Amino acid sequence: MPSTQEVTYGVHRRSASRLTIVAHMFGILAFVLMLVWLLHYRGGIEYDSYDGYRVFNVHPFLMFCGFIFLSGEAMMVYKTVQAIHIVQKVVHMILQLTAFVLGVVGLCAVFKFHDMASIENVYSLHSWFGIGTISLFALQWLAGLSTYMFPQTQTTRITLLPWHVCHGRTLLYMSIAAALTGLMEKATFLNLRPGHETRLINFIGLSILLFGIFVDLSVALARYV
């Protein structure tokens, strides 16, 4: 006869599995919609282009498809994929590091665009959110590396684990807040009238938000040891 804890564990596993699938669906949807927007409406994506707007388009593409999407994947890999613990940790750290590197390239793209267009840097709420999030993300990664990939006492790891998880989930929502304010800011600068492009931007933002929510729920319900 299975115990109550075993039954609950099984329910969490099934719930996490379904939620992870839904998270991937919204992540892929946001990825596709982002490409449609940038390639069809905004002229393409090219970091070394002489067209500043094509350079700028690298920014939203990498900040979601690189930074947010991969960091969400890293969270789900660690919490919902059953594997040897060291494999979970290594894959988690590699995905997070890749997300950070792509996020930095995305930030470089927007700074390059601002230089090309003679626009002031870091003046909006969106930019403050973005810089703050990626800076805290770097500190979170370094703290996780030193705590969980190098020799530490078990007591230290257990004590810091809830904080590490909490900070990771907080950073996910901070990155989503930065993405949504960025989409609103871009739509405002473009002075878009109601139409296909504005609705597309709205659906991109909604898909990104739902991706983050289902990543968080998947991580919260996953109780794998």
Tens digits of residue pLDDT in 137-190: 999 999 999 998 888 888 888 898 889 999 999 999 999 999 999 999 999 888
Assess contact for 92 and 77: CB atoms under 8 A.
Answer: yes
Element (H, E) at 43: none
Element (H, E) at 86: helix 85-117
Assess contact for 35 and 27: CB atoms under 8 A.
Answer: no
Percent of the chain with pLDDT over 90: 70
- CATH architecture observed for domain 11-221: Up-down Bundle (1.20)
Contacts 24+ apart (CB under 8 A), 139-148: 140/164, 140/167, 140/168, 140/171, 141/93, 141/96, 141/97, 141/100, 144/93, 144/96, 145/93, 148/89
For the ranges 35-39, 66-70, 92-96, 194-198, which has the lowest average pLDDT?
A: 194-198
String of b and e for 37-63 (b: at least 16 CB within 10 Å)? bbeeebeebeeebeeeebbbbbbbbbb
More confident site: 71 or 194: 71
More confident site: 153 or 204: 204
| pLDDT value of position 26 | 97
- The secondary structure of 132-173 as a DSSP string is HHHHHHHHHHHHHHHHHSS---HHHHHHHHHHHHHHHHHHHH
| pLDDT value of position 82 | 79
For the ranges 75-79, 200-204, 209-213, which has the lowest average pLDDT?
A: 75-79
Instruction: Summarize pLDDT for 60-91 with one digit per residue, the tens.
Output: 999 999 999 999 999 998 888 878 888 989 99
Amino acid at residue number 48: D
Residues belonging to the chain? 225
Assess contact for 110 and 55: CB atoms under 8 A.
Answer: no
Element (H, E) at 1: none
Cα–Cα dist 117/211, whole Å? 33
Cα–Cα dist 59/110, whole Å? 6
| pLDDT value of position 223 | 53
Mean pLDDT over the full length of the chain: 89
Cα–Cα dist 92/97, whole Å? 9
